[in-house]
């Protein structure tokens, strides 16, 4: 088991934030200015685009809750972990992220995958 940097807590908090005005504060503590987010449905560059993506997700499905599941594995500034999005307590989508951090632990890149391998 690998312990994730504290920035991951702020990143997840951004996804679960119900007050849109607070999302950016979480991201400012979690990601670099050039953060790249890529999954099958989205590609964003920078905290502005990431904030807009999260705000849209929170608006489209306000009851969605985002969770890391199981343990994380990592080495050399790269981490992989599973996650779920739950709506009204039921799993709506699950997947895995591979996340790269800089030397200070701030998130530089997130590569997301949906479903099982």
pLDDT in tens, 74-105: 999 999 999 999 999 999 999 999 999 999 99
How many Cα atoms occupy the beta-carbon half-sphere of 67 within 13 Å?
14
Which pLDDT value is given to residue 72?
94
Provide the 3-class DSSP secondary structure of residue 114. strand
Strands 107-114 and 31-38: parallel
- Topology, domain 7-114: Nuclear Transport Factor 2; Chain: A, (3.10.450)
Which pLDDT value is given to residue 1?
73
Q: Which residues contact 11 (CB under 8 A, 6 or more apart)?
A: 26, 27, 30, 31, 107
Neighbour-count burial of 39, counting CB atoms closer than 10 A to its CB (0-12 exposed, 13-18 middle, 19+ buried): middle
Q: Is the pLDDT score of 38 beyond 80? A: yes
Which pLDDT value is given to residue 48?
98
Whether this prediction's pTM lies above 0.85 is answered by: yes
């Amino acid at each position: 088991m690998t312990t994730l940097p504290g920035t991951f807590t702020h990143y997840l908090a951004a996804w679960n934030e119900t007050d849109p005005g607070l999302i950016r504060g979480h991201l400012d503590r979690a990601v670099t200015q050039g953060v790249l987010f890529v999954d099958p449905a989205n590609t964003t560059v920078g905290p502005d685009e990431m904030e807009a993506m999260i705000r849209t997700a929170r608006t489209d499905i306000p009851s969605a809750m985002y969770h890391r599941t199981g343990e994380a594995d990592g080495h050399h500034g790269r981490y992989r972990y599973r996650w779920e999005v739950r709506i009204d307590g039921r799993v709506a989508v699950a997947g895995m992220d591979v996340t790269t951090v800089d030397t200070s632990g701030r998130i530089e890149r997130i590569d997301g995958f949906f479903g099982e391998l």
